[in-house]
């Protein structure tokens, strides 16, 4: 397993951190197409780059709490940066809770300061892929928490907020679950700080 994928798996298994893998499509020209990549994921990475004042993007890049970026190959280094962000009051400070209620998914967002979009990020929990070309040719890679779609389902303006969504959004044919992100945007509409997060998986 390549280092970045191992780091993702390690942190995901810790259980208390929402980890999402956005597969980008700009390496597909090398001869092997990442079937989990998308143009939307690439555009999101470039939007983060612009928001953070970077002139370009790279892989494997990790974005932490929507506030900072680093090379995403070491779980221990990623954990250290997350701890530092929490100590600097740049952690996830707004409560976001999700629960199933019959044919509904309830999203309960607590109070806080500012405003943010409420995003539903759909993901596949795990995929094993045989690499047929490129630098990992011949390897079978296990990918975790692979983002398949992102939708904005509401806004939060600092007040306690409840959002109700249909439970069919967790249909295993489409995803294994979803993360709920409370994410601010900058003045240009680019992705900014993530204020709260949770996730829910299909049964």
| CA–CA distance, 154 with 132 (Å, rounded to integer) | 41
Q: Which domain holds residue 104?
A: 3-201
Q: What is the pLDDT of residue 113?
A: 94
Q: What is the pLDDT of residue 114?
A: 94
Q: What is the pLDDT of residue 140?
A: 83
In a 13 Å sphere around the CA of 78, the CA atoms on its Cβ side amount to 26
Kindly report, residue by residue over 139-159, the tens digit of the pLDDT.
788 889 999 999 999 999 999
Question: How many domains does the chain contain in total?
Answer: 1
The whole-model pTM stands at 0.91
Q: What is the pLDDT of residue 33?
A: 82
Sites in the chain below the pLDDT cut of 70: 1, 134, 136, 172-174, 203
Residue 163 · residue 107 · CB < 8 Å: yes
Q: What is the pLDDT of residue 176?
A: 86
Kindly report, residue by residue over 96-126, the tens digit of the pLDDT.
999 988 999 999 999 999 999 999 999 999 9
Owner of token pair 């494997």 = 60
| CA–CA distance, 142 with 115 (Å, rounded to integer) | 36
**Helix/strand/coil for 15:** coil
| CA–CA distance, 18 with 65 (Å, rounded to integer) | 10
């Amino acid at each position: 397993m390549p280092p970045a994928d191992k780091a993702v798996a390690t942190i995901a298994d810790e259980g208390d951190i929402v980890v999402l893998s956005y597969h980008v499509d700009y390496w597909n020209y090398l001869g092997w197409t990442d079937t989990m990549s998308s143009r939307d994921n690439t555009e999101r990475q470039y939007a983060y780059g612009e928001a953070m004042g970077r002139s370009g993007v790279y892989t494997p890049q990790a974005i932490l709490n929507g506030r900072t970026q680093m090379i995403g190959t070491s779980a221990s280094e990623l954990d250290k940066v997350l701890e530092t962000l929490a100590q600097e009051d740049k952690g996830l400070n707004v409560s976001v809770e999700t629960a199933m209620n019959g044919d509904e998914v309830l999203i309960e967002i607590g109070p806080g300061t500012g405003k943010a979009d409420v995003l539903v990020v759909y993901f596949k929990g795990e995929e094993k892929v045989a690499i047929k070309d490129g630098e990992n040719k011949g390897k079978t890679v296990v990918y975790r928490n692979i983002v398949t779609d992102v939708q904005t389902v509401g806004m939060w303006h600092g007040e306690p907020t409840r959002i109700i969504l249909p439970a069919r959004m967790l249909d295993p044919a489409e995803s294994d679950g979803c993360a709920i992100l409370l994410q601010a945007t900058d003045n240009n509409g680019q992705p900014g700080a993530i204020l709260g997060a949770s996730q829910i998986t299909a049964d």
